[in-house]
Structure 1
Amino acid sequence: MPQNGPSDSAEIFDRALRRKRRDRAARRYEGFLRDHMLEGVADRLAHVKRSFHDVLDLGSFGGGFELPGARITRIDAGSGFAAQAGGIHADEDRHPFPEASFDLVVSVGVLDQVNDVPGALALARRALRPDGLFLGAFLGAGTLATLRSAFLQAEGERPVARFHPQIDVRAAGDLLTRAGFALPVSDVEPLTVRYSSLFSLLGDLRGMAATNLLPGTPPLTRGALARATEAFSDRADPDGKTAERFEIVYLIGWAPDASQPKPARRGSAVASLAEELKSKN
Protein backbone atom coordinates (compact mmCIF):
# COMPACT_ATOMS: atom_id res chain seq x y z
CA MET A 1 0.00 0.00 0.00
CA PRO A 2 1.18 3.60 -0.47
CA GLN A 3 3.20 4.89 2.43
CA ASN A 4 2.04 8.02 4.23
CA GLY A 5 5.53 9.26 5.08
CA PRO A 6 7.89 11.29 2.89
CA SER A 7 9.46 9.76 -0.20
CA ASP A 8 12.77 7.95 0.13
CA SER A 9 15.49 10.47 -0.72
CA ALA A 10 17.05 7.92 -3.10
CA GLU A 11 13.87 7.58 -5.16
CA ILE A 12 13.47 9.26 -8.52
CA PHE A 13 9.87 10.38 -8.04
CA ASP A 14 8.02 11.94 -5.13
CA ARG A 15 5.41 9.32 -4.19
CA ALA A 16 3.23 11.74 -2.22
CA LEU A 17 3.26 14.25 -5.06
CA ARG A 18 2.39 11.50 -7.52
CA ARG A 19 -0.67 10.53 -5.47
CA LYS A 20 -1.70 14.19 -5.25
CA ARG A 21 -1.34 14.69 -9.00
CA ARG A 22 -3.30 11.53 -9.77
CA ASP A 23 -6.09 12.60 -7.44
CA ARG A 24 -6.22 15.98 -9.17
CA ALA A 25 -6.35 14.31 -12.59
CA ALA A 26 -9.10 11.94 -11.45
CA ARG A 27 -11.45 14.90 -11.13
CA ARG A 28 -10.91 16.02 -14.76
CA TYR A 29 -9.19 13.14 -16.48
CA GLU A 30 -7.82 13.53 -20.04
CA GLY A 31 -7.55 9.97 -21.28
CA PHE A 32 -6.90 10.18 -25.03
CA LEU A 33 -3.30 9.00 -24.78
CA ARG A 34 -4.07 6.06 -22.51
CA ASP A 35 -7.05 5.19 -24.72
CA HIS A 36 -4.61 4.94 -27.63
CA MET A 37 -2.39 2.64 -25.56
CA LEU A 38 -5.38 0.53 -24.54
CA GLU A 39 -6.22 0.05 -28.21
CA GLY A 40 -2.66 -1.08 -28.87
CA VAL A 41 -2.79 -3.51 -25.95
CA ALA A 42 -6.15 -4.87 -27.13
CA ASP A 43 -4.79 -5.36 -30.66
CA ARG A 44 -1.85 -7.34 -29.36
CA LEU A 45 -3.94 -9.34 -26.94
CA ALA A 46 -6.29 -10.30 -29.78
CA HIS A 47 -3.46 -12.39 -31.26
CA VAL A 48 -3.46 -14.65 -28.20
CA LYS A 49 -5.95 -17.47 -28.73
CA ARG A 50 -6.45 -18.44 -25.12
CA SER A 51 -8.68 -17.46 -22.23
CA PHE A 52 -7.69 -15.33 -19.24
CA HIS A 53 -9.77 -15.58 -16.10
CA ASP A 54 -7.92 -13.64 -13.39
CA VAL A 55 -6.49 -10.30 -14.47
CA LEU A 56 -4.52 -7.60 -12.66
CA ASP A 57 -4.83 -4.08 -14.07
CA LEU A 58 -1.62 -2.56 -12.69
CA GLY A 59 -2.12 1.21 -12.63
CA SER A 60 -5.74 1.30 -13.66
CA PHE A 61 -6.56 5.02 -13.66
CA GLY A 62 -10.38 5.01 -13.43
CA GLY A 63 -10.69 1.76 -15.39
CA GLY A 64 -10.81 1.37 -19.13
CA PHE A 65 -9.22 -2.01 -19.65
CA GLU A 66 -11.91 -4.64 -20.16
CA LEU A 67 -11.80 -8.35 -20.96
CA PRO A 68 -15.16 -10.13 -21.27
CA GLY A 69 -15.53 -13.07 -18.90
CA ALA A 70 -12.49 -12.18 -16.78
CA ARG A 71 -12.29 -11.13 -13.15
CA ILE A 72 -10.26 -7.92 -13.13
CA THR A 73 -8.53 -6.63 -10.03
CA ARG A 74 -7.52 -3.00 -10.38
CA ILE A 75 -4.96 -0.97 -8.44
CA ASP A 76 -3.85 2.64 -8.73
CA ALA A 77 -1.45 4.85 -6.82
CA GLY A 78 -4.13 7.54 -6.67
CA SER A 79 -7.01 7.06 -4.25
CA GLY A 80 -9.41 8.88 -6.60
CA PHE A 81 -8.68 6.65 -9.57
CA ALA A 82 -8.73 3.54 -7.37
CA ALA A 83 -12.17 4.50 -6.04
CA GLN A 84 -13.52 5.21 -9.52
CA ALA A 85 -12.34 1.80 -10.72
CA GLY A 86 -13.63 -0.04 -7.65
CA GLY A 87 -10.05 -1.11 -7.01
CA ILE A 88 -7.22 -1.02 -4.50
CA HIS A 89 -5.12 1.99 -3.58
CA ALA A 90 -1.52 0.78 -3.95
CA ASP A 91 1.75 1.61 -5.68
CA GLU A 92 2.71 -0.55 -8.64
CA ASP A 93 6.04 -1.47 -7.05
CA ARG A 94 4.53 -2.17 -3.60
CA HIS A 95 1.33 -4.05 -4.28
CA PRO A 96 0.12 -6.80 -1.94
CA PHE A 97 -0.76 -9.71 -4.25
CA PRO A 98 0.64 -13.18 -3.51
CA GLU A 99 2.49 -15.41 -5.92
CA ALA A 100 0.57 -17.02 -8.82
CA SER A 101 -2.63 -15.00 -8.32
CA PHE A 102 -3.29 -14.05 -11.96
CA ASP A 103 -2.97 -15.43 -15.47
CA LEU A 104 -2.77 -11.96 -17.06
CA VAL A 105 -1.24 -8.69 -15.84
CA VAL A 106 -1.67 -5.51 -17.86
CA SER A 107 -0.07 -2.16 -17.11
CA VAL A 108 -1.06 0.75 -19.33
CA GLY A 109 0.35 4.25 -19.00
CA VAL A 110 2.13 4.20 -15.65
CA LEU A 111 5.51 2.44 -15.72
CA ASP A 112 7.31 5.64 -16.76
CA GLN A 113 6.32 7.16 -13.37
CA VAL A 114 7.16 4.21 -11.10
CA ASN A 115 10.18 4.55 -8.81
CA ASP A 116 11.24 0.91 -8.93
CA VAL A 117 10.41 -0.32 -12.42
CA PRO A 118 12.48 -3.55 -12.10
CA GLY A 119 10.74 -4.20 -8.79
CA ALA A 120 7.30 -3.54 -10.26
CA LEU A 121 7.98 -5.93 -13.14
CA ALA A 122 9.36 -8.57 -10.77
CA LEU A 123 6.23 -8.28 -8.61
CA ALA A 124 4.08 -8.62 -11.73
CA ARG A 125 5.99 -11.72 -12.80
CA ARG A 126 5.63 -13.32 -9.36
CA ALA A 127 1.91 -12.53 -9.32
CA LEU A 128 1.49 -14.49 -12.57
CA ARG A 129 0.82 -18.19 -12.77
CA PRO A 130 3.22 -20.28 -14.90
CA ASP A 131 2.83 -19.33 -18.58
CA GLY A 132 0.85 -16.25 -17.56
CA LEU A 133 1.11 -13.14 -19.73
CA PHE A 134 2.33 -9.64 -18.92
CA LEU A 135 1.39 -6.92 -21.41
CA GLY A 136 2.35 -3.30 -20.80
CA ALA A 137 2.52 0.10 -22.45
CA PHE A 138 4.11 3.34 -21.31
CA LEU A 139 5.72 6.53 -22.63
CA GLY A 140 9.35 5.91 -23.50
CA ALA A 141 12.49 7.74 -24.58
CA GLY A 142 11.92 10.54 -27.07
CA THR A 143 8.54 11.54 -25.63
CA LEU A 144 7.92 15.32 -25.35
CA ALA A 145 11.03 16.19 -27.34
CA THR A 146 9.53 19.49 -28.52
CA LEU A 147 8.51 20.58 -25.02
CA ARG A 148 11.89 19.58 -23.63
CA SER A 149 13.68 21.61 -26.30
CA ALA A 150 11.49 24.65 -25.63
CA PHE A 151 12.20 24.54 -21.89
CA LEU A 152 15.94 24.08 -22.41
CA GLN A 153 15.95 27.13 -24.66
CA ALA A 154 13.86 29.13 -22.19
CA GLU A 155 16.08 28.44 -19.18
CA GLY A 156 19.35 29.12 -20.98
CA GLU A 157 22.66 28.12 -19.44
CA ARG A 158 21.17 26.86 -16.17
CA PRO A 159 18.25 24.61 -17.13
CA VAL A 160 16.35 22.90 -14.33
CA ALA A 161 15.66 19.17 -14.40
CA ARG A 162 11.94 19.20 -15.18
CA PHE A 163 11.66 16.07 -17.31
CA HIS A 164 11.64 12.48 -16.12
CA PRO A 165 14.35 9.99 -17.04
CA GLN A 166 13.01 7.91 -19.92
CA ILE A 167 13.34 4.23 -20.80
CA ASP A 168 14.09 3.32 -24.41
CA VAL A 169 12.70 0.26 -26.11
CA ARG A 170 15.89 -1.80 -25.84
CA ALA A 171 16.30 -1.07 -22.13
CA ALA A 172 12.64 -1.99 -21.62
CA GLY A 173 13.26 -5.44 -23.05
CA ASP A 174 16.30 -5.83 -20.79
CA LEU A 175 14.14 -4.92 -17.78
CA LEU A 176 11.73 -7.73 -18.65
CA THR A 177 14.63 -10.18 -18.72
CA ARG A 178 15.96 -8.85 -15.43
CA ALA A 179 12.52 -9.34 -13.87
CA GLY A 180 12.53 -13.01 -14.85
CA PHE A 181 10.12 -13.00 -17.78
CA ALA A 182 10.48 -15.58 -20.54
CA LEU A 183 10.29 -14.68 -24.25
CA PRO A 184 10.53 -10.92 -23.62
CA VAL A 185 9.73 -8.58 -26.50
CA SER A 186 9.57 -4.79 -26.62
CA ASP A 187 8.17 -2.65 -29.40
CA VAL A 188 7.75 1.11 -29.91
CA GLU A 189 5.05 3.08 -31.69
CA PRO A 190 5.24 6.86 -32.19
CA LEU A 191 2.21 9.10 -31.86
CA THR A 192 2.25 12.74 -32.96
CA VAL A 193 -0.24 15.24 -31.53
CA ARG A 194 -0.44 18.84 -32.77
CA TYR A 195 -1.12 21.65 -30.31
CA SER A 196 -2.26 25.22 -30.81
CA SER A 197 -0.21 26.41 -27.82
CA LEU A 198 2.12 25.33 -25.06
CA PHE A 199 -0.72 25.69 -22.58
CA SER A 200 -2.88 23.21 -24.49
CA LEU A 201 -0.13 20.61 -24.15
CA LEU A 202 0.45 21.39 -20.48
CA GLY A 203 -3.29 21.09 -19.88
CA ASP A 204 -3.32 17.62 -21.41
CA LEU A 205 -0.33 16.57 -19.31
CA ARG A 206 -2.04 17.75 -16.12
CA GLY A 207 -5.24 15.98 -17.13
CA MET A 208 -3.42 12.66 -17.58
CA ALA A 209 -1.31 13.04 -14.39
CA ALA A 210 1.86 13.26 -16.49
CA THR A 211 3.49 16.42 -15.14
CA ASN A 212 6.83 16.63 -13.33
CA LEU A 213 7.18 14.40 -10.25
CA LEU A 214 10.87 14.96 -9.56
CA PRO A 215 11.37 15.97 -5.91
CA GLY A 216 12.52 19.47 -5.11
CA THR A 217 11.99 21.00 -8.55
CA PRO A 218 11.85 24.81 -8.25
CA PRO A 219 8.83 26.52 -9.78
CA LEU A 220 9.10 27.90 -13.29
CA THR A 221 9.60 31.65 -13.32
CA ARG A 222 7.18 33.87 -15.19
CA GLY A 223 9.93 34.95 -17.56
CA ALA A 224 11.01 31.37 -18.31
CA LEU A 225 7.41 30.39 -18.98
CA ALA A 226 7.01 33.27 -21.43
CA ARG A 227 10.21 32.28 -23.22
CA ALA A 228 9.13 28.62 -23.34
CA THR A 229 5.77 29.63 -24.77
CA GLU A 230 7.50 31.63 -27.50
CA ALA A 231 9.99 28.83 -28.23
CA PHE A 232 7.14 26.32 -28.53
CA SER A 233 5.26 28.62 -30.92
CA ASP A 234 8.41 29.16 -32.97
CA ARG A 235 8.36 25.42 -33.76
CA ALA A 236 4.83 25.58 -35.17
CA ASP A 237 3.83 24.47 -38.64
CA PRO A 238 2.41 27.04 -41.10
CA ASP A 239 -1.09 26.48 -39.69
CA GLY A 240 0.07 27.64 -36.26
CA LYS A 241 0.07 24.23 -34.58
CA THR A 242 3.16 22.64 -33.06
CA ALA A 243 3.77 18.90 -33.30
CA GLU A 244 4.62 16.99 -30.15
CA ARG A 245 5.72 13.37 -30.18
CA PHE A 246 4.84 10.58 -27.78
CA GLU A 247 6.86 7.36 -28.04
CA ILE A 248 4.73 4.47 -26.78
CA VAL A 249 6.71 1.42 -25.69
CA TYR A 250 4.82 -1.90 -25.62
CA LEU A 251 6.09 -4.84 -23.60
CA ILE A 252 5.27 -8.51 -23.51
CA GLY A 253 6.66 -11.24 -21.30
CA TRP A 254 5.57 -14.65 -20.11
CA ALA A 255 5.90 -16.16 -16.66
CA PRO A 256 8.35 -19.05 -17.14
CA ASP A 257 6.91 -22.48 -17.84
CA ALA A 258 8.43 -25.76 -19.08
CA SER A 259 6.06 -25.80 -22.07
CA GLN A 260 7.57 -22.65 -23.59
CA PRO A 261 10.00 -22.70 -26.52
CA LYS A 262 13.61 -21.82 -25.80
CA PRO A 263 14.45 -18.14 -26.34
CA ALA A 264 16.37 -17.05 -29.42
CA ARG A 265 20.02 -16.05 -29.17
CA ARG A 266 20.36 -12.67 -27.47
CA GLY A 267 20.29 -9.83 -30.00
CA SER A 268 18.66 -11.89 -32.73
CA ALA A 269 15.03 -10.94 -32.02
CA VAL A 270 13.56 -8.58 -34.58
CA ALA A 271 9.92 -9.69 -34.48
CA SER A 272 7.13 -7.36 -33.48
CA LEU A 273 4.95 -7.98 -30.46
CA ALA A 274 2.17 -9.20 -32.73
CA GLU A 275 4.42 -11.85 -34.25
CA GLU A 276 5.61 -12.98 -30.82
CA LEU A 277 2.02 -13.29 -29.65
CA LYS A 278 1.11 -15.34 -32.72
CA SER A 279 3.84 -17.82 -31.81
CA LYS A 280 1.95 -18.60 -28.61
CA ASN A 281 -1.18 -19.72 -30.48
Structure 2
Amino acid sequence: MQNSPHLTDTRALRRNRTRANRTTGMFLQSAAIAEVQDRLSMVNREFTAPAIVTGFPDVWDTCLPDANLVPDSDVLDLQPQHHDLVIHGLSLHWADDPVGQLIQCRRALKDDGFFLAVTFGGKTLHELRASLAQAEVEITGGLSPRVAPMGEIRDLGALLQRAGFALPVADTVPLKVTYESPWSLMKDLRAMGEGNALQERLRKPTRRSILIRASEIYVDSFLEKGRIPATYELIFLTGWAPDATQQKPLRPGSAKTRLADALSTSEIKLPK
Protein backbone atom coordinates (compact mmCIF):
# COMPACT_ATOMS: atom_id res chain seq x y z
CA MET A 1 0.00 0.00 0.00
CA GLN A 2 1.49 3.35 -1.07
CA ASN A 3 1.60 6.30 1.27
CA SER A 4 -0.38 9.36 0.21
CA PRO A 5 1.82 12.13 -1.22
CA HIS A 6 2.84 14.93 1.11
CA LEU A 7 1.98 18.51 0.20
CA THR A 8 4.54 20.12 2.49
CA ASP A 9 8.27 19.58 2.94
CA THR A 10 8.32 19.88 6.73
CA ARG A 11 12.11 20.35 6.88
CA ALA A 12 11.89 23.30 4.49
CA LEU A 13 8.94 24.72 6.43
CA ARG A 14 10.87 24.55 9.72
CA ARG A 15 13.88 26.16 8.05
CA ASN A 16 11.76 29.00 6.65
CA ARG A 17 10.13 29.62 10.02
CA THR A 18 13.48 29.58 11.82
CA ARG A 19 14.81 32.20 9.41
CA ALA A 20 11.70 34.40 9.71
CA ASN A 21 12.26 37.92 10.99
CA ARG A 22 10.44 38.23 14.33
CA THR A 23 10.81 42.02 14.20
CA THR A 24 9.48 42.89 10.73
CA GLY A 25 7.85 39.72 9.41
CA MET A 26 5.12 38.95 11.94
CA PHE A 27 2.57 41.63 11.06
CA LEU A 28 0.07 39.14 9.60
CA GLN A 29 0.45 36.86 12.61
CA SER A 30 -0.13 39.91 14.83
CA ALA A 31 -3.20 40.93 12.82
CA ALA A 32 -4.60 37.40 13.17
CA ILE A 33 -3.95 37.41 16.92
CA ALA A 34 -5.69 40.77 17.37
CA GLU A 35 -8.73 39.54 15.43
CA VAL A 36 -8.85 36.28 17.43
CA GLN A 37 -8.71 38.22 20.70
CA ASP A 38 -11.50 40.51 19.53
CA ARG A 39 -13.72 37.56 18.57
CA LEU A 40 -13.08 35.78 21.86
CA SER A 41 -14.10 38.93 23.75
CA MET A 42 -17.53 38.64 22.13
CA VAL A 43 -18.05 35.04 23.26
CA ASN A 44 -19.95 34.96 26.54
CA ARG A 45 -17.68 32.34 28.06
CA GLU A 46 -14.67 32.23 30.37
CA PHE A 47 -12.13 29.74 29.07
CA THR A 48 -9.96 27.99 31.64
CA ALA A 49 -8.14 25.35 29.55
CA PRO A 50 -7.21 26.86 26.16
CA ALA A 51 -4.80 25.46 23.58
CA ILE A 52 -3.26 27.11 20.51
CA VAL A 53 -1.97 25.18 17.49
CA THR A 54 0.70 27.26 15.76
CA GLY A 55 3.95 27.22 13.86
CA PHE A 56 5.07 30.37 15.69
CA PRO A 57 4.65 29.67 19.43
CA ASP A 58 6.91 32.59 20.40
CA VAL A 59 4.48 34.94 18.61
CA TRP A 60 1.16 33.39 19.63
CA ASP A 61 2.07 33.21 23.31
CA THR A 62 0.80 36.81 23.48
CA CYS A 63 -2.70 35.75 22.41
CA LEU A 64 -3.70 33.93 25.61
CA PRO A 65 -0.95 33.92 28.25
CA ASP A 66 -2.14 30.68 29.92
CA ALA A 67 -2.74 28.69 26.73
CA ASN A 68 -1.05 25.39 25.94
CA LEU A 69 1.02 26.03 22.77
CA VAL A 70 1.01 23.05 20.40
CA PRO A 71 3.15 22.60 17.23
CA ASP A 72 1.19 22.23 13.99
CA SER A 73 2.52 18.75 13.27
CA ASP A 74 0.52 16.02 11.51
CA VAL A 75 -0.37 14.50 14.89
CA LEU A 76 -1.30 17.28 17.30
CA ASP A 77 -0.15 17.02 20.90
CA LEU A 78 -3.66 17.49 22.30
CA GLN A 79 -5.33 15.37 24.97
CA PRO A 80 -8.86 14.16 24.14
CA GLN A 81 -11.66 16.20 25.76
CA HIS A 82 -9.17 18.23 27.77
CA HIS A 83 -9.68 21.80 26.48
CA ASP A 84 -12.62 24.18 26.49
CA LEU A 85 -11.00 26.28 23.74
CA VAL A 86 -8.76 25.31 20.82
CA ILE A 87 -7.34 27.91 18.41
CA HIS A 88 -5.63 26.94 15.15
CA GLY A 89 -3.35 29.89 14.43
CA LEU A 90 -2.62 30.71 10.79
CA SER A 91 -0.93 27.46 9.79
CA LEU A 92 -3.71 25.29 8.39
CA HIS A 93 -2.64 26.12 4.80
CA TRP A 94 0.53 24.02 5.31
CA ALA A 95 -1.35 20.95 6.59
CA ASP A 96 -1.24 17.80 4.45
CA ASP A 97 -4.61 16.81 5.96
CA PRO A 98 -6.60 19.89 7.02
CA VAL A 99 -9.69 17.81 7.82
CA GLY A 100 -7.57 15.63 10.08
CA GLN A 101 -6.30 18.73 11.85
CA LEU A 102 -9.86 19.90 12.52
CA ILE A 103 -10.96 16.46 13.70
CA GLN A 104 -8.06 16.33 16.17
CA CYS A 105 -9.01 19.76 17.47
CA ARG A 106 -12.64 18.71 17.92
CA ARG A 107 -11.64 15.58 19.80
CA ALA A 108 -9.48 17.69 22.11
CA LEU A 109 -12.48 19.78 23.14
CA LYS A 110 -14.72 19.12 26.10
CA ASP A 111 -18.44 18.97 25.36
CA ASP A 112 -19.61 22.44 24.27
CA GLY A 113 -15.98 23.54 23.86
CA PHE A 114 -15.20 26.31 21.36
CA PHE A 115 -12.99 26.06 18.27
CA LEU A 116 -11.59 29.01 16.33
CA ALA A 117 -9.23 28.77 13.37
CA VAL A 118 -7.69 31.45 11.20
CA THR A 119 -6.12 30.49 7.89
CA PHE A 120 -5.22 32.03 4.56
CA GLY A 121 -7.97 31.95 1.93
CA GLY A 122 -7.85 31.41 -1.81
CA LYS A 123 -7.59 35.09 -2.74
CA THR A 124 -4.28 35.39 -0.87
CA LEU A 125 -1.44 36.62 -3.12
CA HIS A 126 -3.53 36.16 -6.26
CA GLU A 127 -1.60 39.02 -7.89
CA LEU A 128 1.79 37.39 -7.29
CA ARG A 129 0.57 33.93 -8.28
CA ALA A 130 -0.85 35.19 -11.58
CA SER A 131 2.31 37.16 -12.41
CA LEU A 132 4.68 34.27 -11.65
CA ALA A 133 2.54 31.80 -13.58
CA GLN A 134 2.39 33.98 -16.69
CA ALA A 135 6.13 34.68 -16.57
CA GLU A 136 7.05 31.02 -16.15
CA VAL A 137 4.78 29.90 -19.00
CA GLU A 138 6.23 32.57 -21.28
CA ILE A 139 9.85 31.65 -20.53
CA THR A 140 9.81 27.90 -19.86
CA GLY A 141 6.50 26.75 -21.33
CA GLY A 142 5.45 25.13 -18.05
CA LEU A 143 4.49 25.70 -14.43
CA SER A 144 6.08 24.61 -11.14
CA PRO A 145 4.46 24.63 -7.66
CA ARG A 146 5.25 27.92 -5.92
CA VAL A 147 2.45 28.85 -3.50
CA ALA A 148 0.68 26.54 -1.05
CA PRO A 149 -2.92 25.85 -2.15
CA MET A 150 -5.44 27.77 -0.05
CA GLY A 151 -9.13 26.94 0.18
CA GLU A 152 -12.15 29.04 -0.69
CA ILE A 153 -14.43 30.08 2.16
CA ARG A 154 -17.26 27.75 1.11
CA ASP A 155 -14.94 24.73 0.99
CA LEU A 156 -13.32 25.58 4.32
CA GLY A 157 -16.71 26.02 5.96
CA ALA A 158 -17.69 22.56 4.72
CA LEU A 159 -14.59 21.12 6.42
CA LEU A 160 -16.03 22.17 9.79
CA GLN A 161 -19.10 20.04 9.14
CA ARG A 162 -17.00 17.10 7.97
CA ALA A 163 -14.98 17.35 11.18
CA GLY A 164 -18.15 17.09 13.27
CA PHE A 165 -18.42 20.62 14.68
CA ALA A 166 -21.80 21.96 15.73
CA LEU A 167 -22.97 25.46 14.74
CA PRO A 168 -20.18 25.95 12.14
CA VAL A 169 -19.50 29.45 10.79
CA ALA A 170 -16.93 30.70 8.26
CA ASP A 171 -16.23 34.33 7.40
CA THR A 172 -13.45 36.30 5.80
CA VAL A 173 -11.34 39.37 6.57
CA PRO A 174 -9.50 40.72 3.49
CA LEU A 175 -6.29 42.71 3.97
CA LYS A 176 -4.45 44.70 1.32
CA VAL A 177 -0.80 45.63 1.79
CA THR A 178 1.12 47.81 -0.67
CA TYR A 179 4.80 47.59 -1.53
CA GLU A 180 7.33 49.63 -3.47
CA SER A 181 7.96 46.73 -5.83
CA PRO A 182 7.35 42.98 -6.27
CA TRP A 183 10.89 42.46 -4.97
CA SER A 184 9.87 44.06 -1.66
CA LEU A 185 6.90 41.70 -1.45
CA MET A 186 9.03 38.60 -2.06
CA LYS A 187 11.50 39.79 0.57
CA ASP A 188 8.59 40.26 2.99
CA LEU A 189 7.35 36.70 2.37
CA ARG A 190 10.76 35.36 3.39
CA ALA A 191 10.63 37.52 6.53
CA MET A 192 7.23 35.98 7.33
CA GLY A 193 8.59 32.44 7.04
CA GLU A 194 6.13 31.86 4.21
CA GLY A 195 8.59 30.97 1.46
CA ASN A 196 8.01 28.01 -0.84
CA ALA A 197 8.00 24.81 1.24
CA LEU A 198 6.02 22.61 -1.14
CA GLN A 199 7.25 19.05 -1.50
CA GLU A 200 7.06 19.21 -5.32
CA ARG A 201 8.78 22.59 -5.66
CA LEU A 202 11.82 23.04 -7.88
CA ARG A 203 14.94 22.25 -5.87
CA LYS A 204 17.02 24.96 -7.54
CA PRO A 205 16.72 28.76 -7.46
CA THR A 206 14.14 30.31 -9.77
CA ARG A 207 15.72 31.70 -12.91
CA ARG A 208 16.29 35.42 -12.60
CA SER A 209 14.70 35.99 -16.00
CA ILE A 210 11.42 34.56 -14.63
CA LEU A 211 11.51 36.84 -11.59
CA ILE A 212 12.27 39.90 -13.71
CA ARG A 213 9.43 39.10 -16.13
CA ALA A 214 7.03 38.38 -13.25
CA SER A 215 7.92 41.75 -11.73
CA GLU A 216 7.17 43.48 -15.03
CA ILE A 217 3.81 41.71 -15.33
CA TYR A 218 2.93 42.53 -11.71
CA VAL A 219 3.60 46.24 -12.22
CA ASP A 220 1.81 46.39 -15.58
CA SER A 221 -1.26 44.56 -14.30
CA PHE A 222 -1.73 45.72 -10.72
CA LEU A 223 0.10 49.02 -10.05
CA GLU A 224 -1.97 51.42 -7.92
CA LYS A 225 -0.81 54.99 -7.30
CA GLY A 226 2.83 54.09 -7.77
CA ARG A 227 2.79 51.00 -5.52
CA ILE A 228 1.89 47.36 -6.04
CA PRO A 229 -0.84 45.76 -3.89
CA ALA A 230 -0.76 42.31 -2.30
CA THR A 231 -3.99 40.73 -1.09
CA TYR A 232 -4.05 38.58 2.04
CA GLU A 233 -7.36 36.89 2.82
CA LEU A 234 -7.83 35.71 6.41
CA ILE A 235 -10.61 33.16 6.78
CA PHE A 236 -12.01 32.51 10.26
CA LEU A 237 -13.65 29.19 11.10
CA THR A 238 -15.65 28.70 14.28
CA GLY A 239 -17.56 25.77 15.71
CA TRP A 240 -18.50 24.01 18.92
CA ALA A 241 -17.98 20.50 20.18
CA PRO A 242 -21.46 18.92 20.13
CA ASP A 243 -23.43 19.04 23.37
CA ALA A 244 -27.05 18.20 24.27
CA THR A 245 -27.66 21.75 25.57
CA GLN A 246 -27.00 23.41 22.20
CA GLN A 247 -29.78 24.73 20.00
CA LYS A 248 -30.79 22.43 17.16
CA PRO A 249 -32.71 23.18 13.95
CA LEU A 250 -36.38 22.17 13.85
CA ARG A 251 -37.43 19.19 11.79
CA PRO A 252 -38.74 20.13 8.30
CA GLY A 253 -42.51 20.55 8.45
CA SER A 254 -42.63 21.06 12.23
CA ALA A 255 -43.26 24.83 12.11
CA LYS A 256 -46.49 25.97 13.76
CA THR A 257 -46.62 29.43 12.14
CA ARG A 258 -46.84 30.17 8.43
CA LEU A 259 -44.12 32.39 6.93
CA ALA A 260 -46.81 34.42 5.17
CA ASP A 261 -48.40 35.26 8.54
CA ALA A 262 -45.05 36.29 10.02
CA LEU A 263 -44.41 38.61 7.07
CA SER A 264 -48.01 39.92 7.03
CA THR A 265 -48.39 39.06 3.39
CA SER A 266 -50.67 36.92 1.26
CA GLU A 267 -49.76 33.33 0.51
CA ILE A 268 -49.64 32.41 -3.18
CA LYS A 269 -50.16 28.74 -3.89
CA LEU A 270 -48.06 27.30 -6.67
CA PRO A 271 -49.79 25.32 -9.40
CA LYS A 272 -49.53 21.55 -9.04
Q: How high is the TM-score relative to the length of structure 1?
A: 0.80
Alpha-carbon RMSD across the aligned residues, in angstroms, is 2.0
Structure 1 residue 9, shift from structure 2 partner = 6.1
Question: How far, CA to CA, are the matches of 1:104 and 1:53 in structure 2?
Answer: 8
Q: Which amino acid aligns with 2:135?
A: A
The correspondence for 1:224, drawn from 203, 206, 210, is: 210
Structure 1 residue 216, shift from structure 2 partner = 3.3
* Pair 1:177 & 2:172 matched: no
- Point out where structure 1 has 5 or more consecutive residues left out of the alignment: 1-7, 78-90, 266-281
The 3-state SS of whatever aligns with 2:200 is coil
Q: Identity, % of aligned pairs?
A: 37
The correspondence for 1:51, drawn from 46, 51, 54, is: 46
**Contact persistence 1:233–1:240 (CA under 8 A):** no
Question: How far, CA to CA, are the matches of 2:122 and 2:214 in structure 1?
Answer: 21
The correspondence for 1:20, drawn from 10, 15, 21, is: 15
Q: Deviations over 1:232-252 (max 9, x none)?
A: 222353532011111110010
The 3-state SS of whatever aligns with 2:20 is helix
* Pair 1:151 & 2:132 matched: yes
Q: Which amino acid aligns with 1:63?
A: V
Q: Deviations over 1:149-174 (max 9, x none)?
A: 11012112312221221111111111
The 3-state SS of whatever aligns with 1:235 is helix
Match of residue 256 from structure 2: none
The correspondence for 1:102, drawn from 78, 83, 90, is: 83
Question: How far, CA to CA, are the matches of 1:126 and 1:240 in structure 2?
Answer: 50
Question: How far, CA to CA, are the matches of 2:250 and 2:123 in structure 1?
Answer: 28
Match of residue 189 from structure 1: 173
Q: Deviations over 1:44-101 (max 9, x none)?
A: 1111111001111100511335466x73111235xxxxxxxxxxxxx1x312222111
* Pair 1:239 & 2:225 matched: yes
Question: How far, CA to CA, are the matches of 2:21 and 2:247 in structure 1?
Answer: 42
The correspondence for 2:35, drawn from 32, 40, 53, is: 40
Match of residue 252 from structure 1: 238
Q: Which amino acid aligns with 2:60?
A: G
Match of residue 130 from structure 1: 111
Q: How high is the TM-score relative to the length of structure 2?
A: 0.83
